[in-house]
């Protein structure tokens, strides 16, 4: 096993892109994957990919029928959990992480 150095990470954003095939709703049904892709693209365009990590996740436990769940992690700070996040919230989330 190799230990990785994460000290260069200023912010780590996790976006739920969970999919379900059993009829229950999931973040993929409400734009989770699209939100993840938009955020990842913006981070790259702004040249922040080395310090601002964006990861897609499975279920984060806040399923709803509005939007996705996003978690913002910063070193030595409490995580910020956002639920019911839609594409209309992109600018607000971006301001929180940039």
User: Does a structural domain hold residue 52?
Assistant: yes
* Domain that includes residue 19, residue range: 11-62+70-84
- Residue 2 pLDDT > 90: no
User: Does a structural domain hold residue 97?
Assistant: no
User: Does a structural domain hold residue 18?
Assistant: yes
Total domains, the chain: 1
Q: What is the pLDDT of residue 7?
A: 83
User: Does a structural domain hold residue 98?
Assistant: no
User: Does a structural domain hold residue 91?
Assistant: no
User: Does a structural domain hold residue 40?
Assistant: yes
Per-residue pLDDT reduced to its tens digit, 69-98: 999 999 999 999 999 999 999 999 999 998
Q: What are the C-alpha distances in Å from 48 to residues 12, 20, 42, 85?
A: 11, 32, 9, 22
- Residue 38: give its domain's CATH number: 3.40.30.10
Per-residue pLDDT reduced to its tens digit, 34-77: 999 999 999 999 999 999 999 999 999 998 999 999 999 999 99
Report which of 77, 78, 8, 69 is spatially closest to residue 35, judged by C-alpha positions: 69
- Residue 5 pLDDT > 80: no
Q: What is the pTM of this model?
A: 0.92
Report the distance separating Cα 89 and Cα 82, nearest Å: 10
């Amino acid at each position: 096993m190799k230990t990785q150095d994460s000290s260069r990470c200023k912010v780590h954003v996790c976006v739920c892109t969970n999919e379900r095939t059993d009829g229950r709703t999931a973040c993929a049904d409400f734009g989770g994957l699209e939100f993840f892709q938009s955020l990842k693209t913006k981070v790259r365009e702004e040249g922040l990919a080395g310090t601002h990590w964006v990861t897609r996740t499975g279920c984060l436990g806040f399923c709803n029928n509005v939007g996705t769940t996003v978690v913002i992690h910063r070193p030595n700070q409490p995580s910020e959990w956002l639920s019911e996040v839609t594409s209309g919230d992109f600018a607000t989330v971006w301001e929180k992480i940039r």
